[in-house]
Amino acid sequence: MPAQPVATRPAVDPNATALAAPPPGSGLDPVLGDPGILFVGKGVQFLRGGPQVHTELHRRFGEVSWTRMFGIPVVCVSGPGAAREVLVNKDKAFVSAWRDIIGPWFDGGPLVRDGAEHLRHRRLLQPAYRPEALHGYLPDMVAQAREIVAEWPAAQALPLLPRLRELSAAMTSRTLLGRGYDARARRVVADVETCIRAEGWPLRLPVPGTPWAAAHSARHRLLEYFTDAARRARIEPGSGFLSVLCRAESADGDRFSDTEIAEHMIFTLIAAHDTSVAAATSAAYFLGAHPGWQERARAESLARGEADLTAHTAAGLRVLDRVVRESMRIVPPSPNYARRAVADTAIGNRFVPAGTLVVVNSWATHMIAEHWPDPGRFDPDRFLDPAGSGPRSAWLPFGAGAHKCAGMDFGMLKTLVILDAMLRAQDWRVPDGYRPRWRFTTLPVPADGLPVRLRRRVD
């Protein structure tokens, strides 16, 4: 179920515990919260309910609170003002803490870099996400989506999530690897998914037979594959993502090394595959649960006749765009953004000691009734007027600041392509009264695979 609405100004909680005493004379207040049960804290609740922990803390303590997750003190931030303060990071008081959360699978990617190193990599990545590059990826994505969705079984009740995952993998293979979804591409995607599964594994030791050990082996294979692929792509350039990275060059001649390209390819494959699946799955659920919106979106997709989706016609899918944005508000594909304080600092007027893990939660931020009236209600028309969709940083599916997702336009485009292909080829419904239980061991997806009944459209 979506997280419950949260209030902005809670009453004083009589059971509040201070994280740390502010320095004398600072004028700062302590961060208040609930450490939970001894050692475990609220870790088990987080694994089971994800952002429900954050929304509970927000209701009790406001935008900045704290708890423990398996012995580790965590400052929990929600609400546009506090979230933006951390993510924009004007005072450079925070660095990325993602490696502490999910492990080494994103090593080398922009998500785990900071400062000048992050800026260098971000600038060299930009050509791969510019409009002209996205337009070059689009035909292959459209062709792949159209072909696969048309083959889905008709008039059957089935779990939609595995099919969306397979579709995303095939599109990712074509766009990022520059090859069809053949046996080699399937091995690459399988290694990517092995790394994804390890993100939530609690025993972080390379014990043989564990997901953690399997992911280390998978990442080693991926590094070997993409280092070799980068060497070959420099000799035989193409229009795919890998080739664009190989050609990326700064004004002073700086370029990615083959190893850096391999690391960025792994990061991009994990991020682009997993987040696209999460975004497309939540949007497909809401379209299946709200047939009126499905018909409105379908009418827009069918209006172009037999023509393939292009950059121009994709920009015209305004109903579907609003559906995706509202779906990402209620079920954001990236519910958390992890940072660590590198010096004593403050969020608002709350003292945060150096070394503290800070997690900004977009899900709880999207459930604040002051900014999103009746926030649990699915209403894509909230996004008819972008200026009317709450204050800055009230909508945070891609983060904010220097670490804002570089591939957000690519992710949005990929999600639109998937849903457009579905709308043109299939009609689908979720069972009456169905409400998914979102799983949070990685990114949020329905724990039961999202059961739907598909019916192939016949014009």
Question: Across-strand partners of 76?
Answer: 65, 359
Query: Which residue bears the tokens 């006749």?
Result: 305
Alpha helices in 199-240 (DSSP H): 211-235
- Lowest-pLDDT range, 141-145, 152-156, 185-189, 402-406? 152-156
Q: Are 237 and 136 in contact (CB under 8 A)?
A: no
Dist CA 77 CA 337 (whole Å)? 10
- Lowest-pLDDT range, 49-63, 298-312, 334-348? 49-63
Instruction: Look at residues 400, 178, 143, 428 and name the one whose alpha carbon lies nearest to residue 281.
Output: 428
What percent of the chain clears pLDDT 90, i.e. is strictly above it?
Answer: 64
Dist CA 382 CA 378 (whole Å)? 9
pLDDT at 405: 87
Dist CA 366 CA 394 (whole Å)? 6
What percent of the chain clears pLDDT 70, i.e. is strictly above it?
Answer: 95
pLDDT at 390: 63
The token pair that represents 269 in the structure block: 């494959």
Q: Output the pTM of the full model.
A: 0.92
Check whether 389 has a pLDDT greater than 80. no
* 3-state helix, strand and coil shares in percent for the chain, rounded to the nearest 5: 50, 15, 35
The count of C-alpha atoms lying within 13 angstroms of the C-alpha of 120, restricted to the half-sphere facing its C-beta, is 12
pLDDT in tens, 443-452: 889 999 999 9
pLDDT average, residue stretch 272-284:
92
E-state strands within 378-429: 426-429
The count of C-alpha atoms lying within 13 angstroms of the C-alpha of 293, restricted to the half-sphere facing its C-beta, is 23
pLDDT at 300: 96
Instruction: Look at residues 367, 341, 364, 361 and name the one whose alpha carbon lies nearest to residue 353.
Output: 341
Check whether 125 has a pLDDT greater than 80. yes
Interstrand relation of 94-96 and 345-347 (parallel, antiparallel or unpaired): unpaired
Give just the sign of the alpha carbon dihedral 404, 178, 443, 328: positive
- For the CA atoms of 155, 321, 328, 169, the dihedral, rounded to the nearest 10 degrees, stands at 60
pLDDT average, residue stretch 168-196:
89
pLDDT at 21: 96
Dist CA 385 CA 86 (whole Å)? 27
User: What residue segments make up the domains of the chain, in order of their start?
Assistant: 17-456
pLDDT at 1: 45
Q: Are 306 and 69 in contact (CB under 8 A)?
A: no
Q: Are 354 and 341 in contact (CB under 8 A)?
A: yes
- Superfamily (CATH) of domain 17-456: Cytochrome P450 (1.10.630.10)
Q: Are 318 and 300 in contact (CB under 8 A)?
A: yes
Q: Are 74 and 68 in contact (CB under 8 A)?
A: yes
